[in-house]
Chains A and B, each alone.
Chain A
Amino acid sequence: MCIAIPAEVIEIKEGNIGVVDFGDLKQEIRLDLVDVEVGEFVLIHVGFAIQKMSREEGLETRSLFREVYSAMDQKPPVTL
């Protein structure tokens, strides 16, 4: 359950709430644990940004995640 996914901060609202862009999905998340500015990349876990990342690293990790998740759609058959 320690999955964390990179996203770009596109808006910062009052009360430590941010809007982030995961690439295909925009979502409100909590920014209590990091000090960030719009345009920076963060790792998101259970609706909270847990760390900042560089833009390049964020984009790179995100493309890797996309590959992985598209691969996960082709699950092997469970025959047990």
Chain B
Amino acid sequence: MVVGKEITEKLHQMVDRDLTFMHICGTHEAAIARTGLRSVLPKRLKIVMGPGCPVCITPQGEIDAALELVKMGCIIATYGDLLRVPGSIGSLESCGGDVRVVQGVHKAVEIAERTDKEVVFISVGFETTAPTVAASLLTNPPENFSILSCHRLVPPAMKWLLQQGEAALHGFILPGHVCTVMGYHEYEEFPVPQVVAGFEAEDILLGLLMLVEQVKEGTHRVDNAYPRAVTHDGNRKAQDLMYRVFEPSDVEWRGFPVIPQSGLRLRQQFVQYDAQKKFKLQFKHISKDTACICDRVLRGIAEPADCKLYGKVCTPRTPVGPCMVSHEGACKIWHLYNIRHS
């Protein structure tokens, strides 16, 4: 990591104040934890986690809705990450229903083509994933197929975090693969230093250096440290397909209140694929009744190790909160690498 060493040295020379940068991508946290990146950074430079794991930010009410569908006898198809997320009573893994892990939405459609039963795809994910679902719905899946749309958009959550200000952030590391699809033009409205970063240690170090440079220049813009995948405008075709099928809606995030225009619901012409309408499901707001602090971890104001349950009651085998479930959840990642403090 010759280049990385040079960047690290430069960072040590440049950082002369307390700086906190947030990333909004579980894959970034995984890379940072795996490489022990925090240990080589200047002491005054802190990276905090934001709401970057789509499974983690899916509120309990939506998991409960998926469990309702199991009770109705539907076949549930979804990503493996979602299986152990606790609902109010049990999880998809423990519910005893016909729950199948699929690579992507197209495989869930194939299941529906081979059965007469209702098949519901629990459709989580940010802008990286939503276009894949849109593309599949445009292939006219069979009538017994529908999706429970739990999609979220990143920029509205960033806007909420900036307005709220509790995490006192100096800049953002933007999610590389969300920006692969969406480009980074949407982020230019935010008056804060930002950089799109890739997922290698050197990509992230380069991103941090670019952020520090912006702070020291007293400016803000969106720099691109991941040009091998990300362009300013992103993948227009994928964006067009996503917005042909979905429209923004106001939704709750786990750990956050309802954030305006931060979700994606199906447009009227695709209503036949909307499991929420088809099965008359209400997403209920569930108040948390454990000591789990996933909500504060997702807002960047607490670390996994701050939680009394972390590694004791709450482990990947017995998760209390969603951040201990997903491979992209901060608690699970920290637990894997036995991290106690940042």
Contact = CB atoms under 8 A, between A and B. Distances in A.
Interface of A: 1-4, 15-16, 30, 32-35, 43, 45-48, 50-51, 53-54, 57, 60-61, 64, 68, 71-72, 75-80
Given A33-B238, A50-B235, A51-B229, A2 B336 contact: no
Interface stretch (B101-109, B206-214, B253-261, B282-290): B101-109
Interface stretch (B129-137, B165-173, B263-271): B129-137
B296 interface: no
B128 interface: yes
Contacts of A68: 34, 200
A1 B129 contact: yes
B146 interface: no
B244 to A, nearest CB: 12
Contact of B229 (A1, A34, A53, A64): A53
A76 B180 contact: no
Contact of A30 (B53, B106, B229): B106
A61 to B, nearest CB: 6
Nearest to A33: B238
B131 A1 contact: no
B100 to A, nearest CB: 15
Main secondary structure of the interface of A (DSSP, over half): loop
Nearest to B234: A51
A78 to B, nearest CB: 6
Interface of B: 25-27, 34, 53-55, 79, 81, 103-107, 124-126, 128-129, 131-132, 135-136, 138-139, 175-178, 180-181, 200, 228-229, 234-235, 237-238, 241, 311-312, 315, 326-328, 335-338
B104 A48 contact: yes
B32 to A, nearest CB: 13
Contacts of B177: 2-4, 43, 45, 50
Contacts, number: 122
Nearest to A3: B27
B128 A77 contact: no
B338 A47 contact: no
B135 A80 contact: no
B235 A34 contact: yes
A67 B132 CA distance: 28
Given A1-B55, A1-B125, A2-B177, A47 B34 contact: no
Nearest to B334: A80
Nearest to B135: A32
A33 B338 contact: no
Given A35-B237, A60-B228, A47 B103 contact: yes
B253 to A, nearest CB: 15
> Of residues A45, A48, A57, A80, which shows the largest number of chain B Cβ atoms within 10 Å of its Cβ?
A48
Task: Identify which of B124, B178, B229 gathers the most chain A CB atoms within 10 Å of its CB.
Answer: B229
A57 B180 CA distance: 14
A22 to B, nearest CB: 13
A70 B19 CA distance: 33
A24 to B, nearest CB: 17
Given A50-B177, A57-B228, A68-B34, A1 B326 contact: yes
28 contacts: A1-B79, A1-B327, A1-B328, A2-B128, A2-B175, A2-B328, A3-B177, A4-B128, A30-B135, A32-B135, A33-B135, A34-B237, A34-B238, A35-B237, A46-B104, A46-B125, A47-B103, A48-B135, A50-B131, A50-B177, A50-B180, A50-B235, A51-B181, A68-B34, A78-B335, A79-B338, A80-B335, A80-B338
